[in-house]
Chain A
Amino acid sequence: MIPAAAQPISVTRALTRSLLPVAVGLGLGLGLGQVVPTGTYAEKILFDIGINIILAVSLNLVNGFTGQFSMGHAGFMALGAYASIVVTYYGGFALFGDVGCHLNAQGYGLYFTSLVVGGLVAAAAGYLVGLPSLRLRGDYLAIVTLGFGEIIRVVLQVSYAVVEPEEMATVDWWERPLHLGKSLGFVHQGAYNSLSWTYAAVVLTLLCAYRLRESTHGRAFLSVRENEIAAEAVGIDTTRYKVNAFVLAAFFAGVAGALFGHQLGTGTAARPEEFNFMKSFEAIIMVVLGGMGSISGAALAAVTLTLLTELLRSVQDYRMVSYALLLILVMILRPEGLFGTRELWHFLRRRRP
């Protein structure tokens, strides 16, 4: 049955509907940071899980929603990480006159700005990489993105040593962003991140992805994957949508990288090696495992695989072997992924009589 007309929903209800999930989600995210003590193993695991959720859910926008195949997600993450560090380290020096971690309103304002900058730089790179290659068919994008990720990593390796505060005067400000710590990585930046920041970003990423999925634009993404010719026939500018998905995914990967770059003290640091092809590959596995197009599937796969990685740490050499086997098994037994395009709650709903 079709409702006779769209029920006019009241403004308060509409507001509750759109703001409530944000408020509750953010509350939970921020709360997590308060509950889990810093410097613990639990914090490290939860941090890894959070970052991987953002990576998987954002990559899902490209590989799942629009059916493209991007293999360079780690490259965008790297760009986000380094761009945001440039903001907090070199920008922080310009602002505060030192490079310490300022845990006050100004410092957090700077950090928030750096997260946005990290996302935007990655998104801009996504646009530059995506625009030419998305005009071509699938395989080209895979190859181009793979190359892109490696180029970023190599370029970071040949950057200059980090400028220490006392040397700042000897290096022009516009040259400083080239001083990114070579292959040793950047370890001098302020440890601004915490689980609260991480999970606030996780919640926002999930909500954005979900809202997108439910919108006309989200449908347009899916239609590109389902049947590109038919999508064009109904008037969807398929190239534009593919580029948009790509840019959006790059943005979130950039934010994940920015968070990663400021999570110190749990064994992470912005080293070029952190953003190698394995990182991109892991994100791809999460999307394939969770289901191409399923947001909760990608998130759940991120949680599962992160935990699995921890459990397999003692046999680390075989980790990639087991990943590959897992991937092959999924391809054979359930090629659409565990969830397909459906969401967790679709399964729960069906169980009800």
Chain B
Amino acid sequence: MSLLEVDALDVHYGAIHALHKVSLAVEEGEIVTLIGSNGAGKSTTLRALSGMVQSSGGTIVYGGRSIVGLRSDEIVRLGLAHAPEGRGIFGSLTVRENLELGAFSRRDGKVRSDLERMFERFPILQERAQQSAGTLSGGEQQMLAVARALMARPKLLLLDEPSLGLAPKIVQKIFAIVAEINRDGVTILLVEQNAHLALSVAHRAYVLETGEVKMAGSASELAASDEVRKAYLGVG
């Protein structure tokens, strides 16, 4: 059974019908990416999964149980963490406090050692540990957002546009980290504008258009398809 199975998911924002019967699955250990143009419903999909918006139809089964209707804090406790769009760090708290808050839902005693592991992986965060997070550069804030989500020790990590507004070099670095996290056993559902990069790191992909799944397949298949090349990779 898949780690995450979404079937015929519908989401409305008032009168706006943002998702139409979206179905997708994520297997344990995978990196799956959602690509699509602005307003396609990528962030909405992640928000529905993490309980930040309520769905109006369909099922979400995570780890064998339905998580529809659970609050986001309950979902985090089940090991499903969400690094939302636009970083969303706690600006006036220190970097360390941000990371500690990432482990808010955990009750085990290993938070401190995880914090050290996170500092090893992101040395810049260790250097800035006592600094207020609002003073970090954009790339550093993005690393903090990823690191903070990892502090929840998720089984499934939802990443929303980690490359947004970053220089190519930093983007490379963040994607290397995403791959590394995945090798360590974290399953990842990645939303990305940069389809090229996303397809290079992911195993499988879904293409979302105006709230509907238009295509699905392995990352290499989609990267080779004419439609995707035209619409999202800017080729041809």
Partners in one complex: yes
A residues with a Cβ closer than 8 A to B are 2, 5-6, 216, 219-220, 222-223, 226-227, 229-237, 293, 340-341
Q: From known contacts A219-B101, A223-B101, infer whether A232 and B92 are also in contact, taking CB-CB under 8 Å.
A: no
Closest to B102 in A: A234
Max chain B Cβ within 10 angstroms of own Cβ: one of A219, A233, A293: A233
1/0 contact string of B101-130 vs chain A (CB within 8 Å): 110110000001001100100000010000
Can you list 22 contacts pairing A with B, beta carbon distance less than 8 Å? Answer: A2-B126, A5-B112, A6-B112, A216-B100, A220-B104, A222-B93, A223-B90, A223-B101, A226-B91, A226-B92, A227-B91, A231-B90, A232-B72, A233-B52, A233-B81, A233-B82, A234-B101, A234-B104, A235-B76, A235-B104, A235-B105, A341-B92
Q: From known contacts A2-B116, A219-B100, A235-B152, infer whether A230 and B90 are also in contact, taking CB-CB under 8 Å.
A: yes
For residue B68, CB closer than 8 A to chain A, the reply is: no
> Which chain B residues lie closer than 8 Å to A227 at the CB level?
88-91
CB distance from A288 to the nearest CB of B (A): 16
Q: From known contacts A219-B97, A222-B92, A223-B93, infer whether A233 and B112 are also in contact, taking CB-CB under 8 Å.
A: no
New A-B pairs, 11, CB < 8 Å, besides A219-B104, A235-B105: A5-B112, A6-B112, A219-B100, A220-B101, A222-B90, A223-B101, A226-B93, A230-B88, A232-B72, A233-B50, A233-B149
Max chain B Cβ within 10 angstroms of own Cβ: one of A220, A232, A293: A232
> Which chain B residues lie closer than 8 Å to A237 at the CB level?
71, 73
Q: How far is the CA of A267 from the CA of B27 in the complex (A)?
A: 73
Q: How many A-B residue pairs have CB under 8 A?
A: 77
> Which chain A residues lie closer than 8 Å to B36 at the CB level?
none
> Which chain B residues lie closer than 8 Å to A233 at the CB level?
50, 52, 72, 76, 81-84, 88, 149
> Which chain B residues lie closer than 8 Å to A220 at the CB level?
101, 104
1/0 contact string of B50-62 vs chain A (CB within 8 Å): 1110000000000
> Which chain A residues lie closer than 8 Å to B93 at the CB level?
219, 222-223, 226
B residues with a Cβ closer than 8 A to A are 50-52, 71-73, 76-77, 81-84, 88-93, 97, 100-102, 104-105, 112, 115-116, 119, 126, 148-149, 152
Closest to A224 in B: B90
> Which chain B residues lie closer than 8 Å to A5 at the CB level?
112
> Which chain B residues lie closer than 8 Å to A2 at the CB level?
115-116, 119, 126
CB distance from B200 to the nearest CB of A (A): 26
CB distance from B146 to the nearest CB of A (A): 12
Residue pair A234, B152 in contact (C-beta under 8 Å): yes
Closest to A232 in B: B72
> Which chain B residues lie closer than 8 Å to A229 at the CB level?
52, 84, 88
Q: How far is the CA of A249 from the CA of B143 in the complex (A)?
A: 36
The 4 lowest CB-CB distance pairs between A and B, nearest first, are A235-B76, A235-B105, A230-B88, A226-B90
Closest to A3 in B: B112
Closest to A227 in B: B88
Q: How far is the CA of A233 from the CA of B97 in the complex (A)?
A: 15
> Which chain B residues lie closer than 8 Å to A230 at the CB level?
84, 88-90
Closest to B52 in A: A232
> Which chain A residues lie closer than 8 Å to B77 at the CB level?
235
Q: How far is the CA of A222 from the CA of B81 in the complex (A)?
A: 20
Q: How far is the CA of A227 from the CA of B105 in the complex (A)?
A: 17
Q: How far is the CA of A277 from the CA of B97 in the complex (A)?
A: 37
Q: How far is the CA of A340 from the CA of B93 in the complex (A)?
A: 12
> Which chain B residues lie closer than 8 Å to A216 at the CB level?
100, 104
CB distance from B160 to the nearest CB of A (A): 10
Q: How far is the CA of A2 from the CA of B97 in the complex (A)?
A: 14
> Which chain B residues lie closer than 8 Å to A231 at the CB level?
90, 101
> Which chain B residues lie closer than 8 Å to A219 at the CB level?
93, 97, 100-101, 104
CB distance from A235 to the nearest CB of B (A): 3
Q: How far is the CA of A340 from the CA of B132 in the complex (A)?
A: 13
Q: From known contacts A219-B97, A223-B101, infer whether A235 and B91 are also in contact, taking CB-CB under 8 Å.
A: no
Q: How far is the CA of A262 from the CA of B76 in the complex (A)?
A: 48
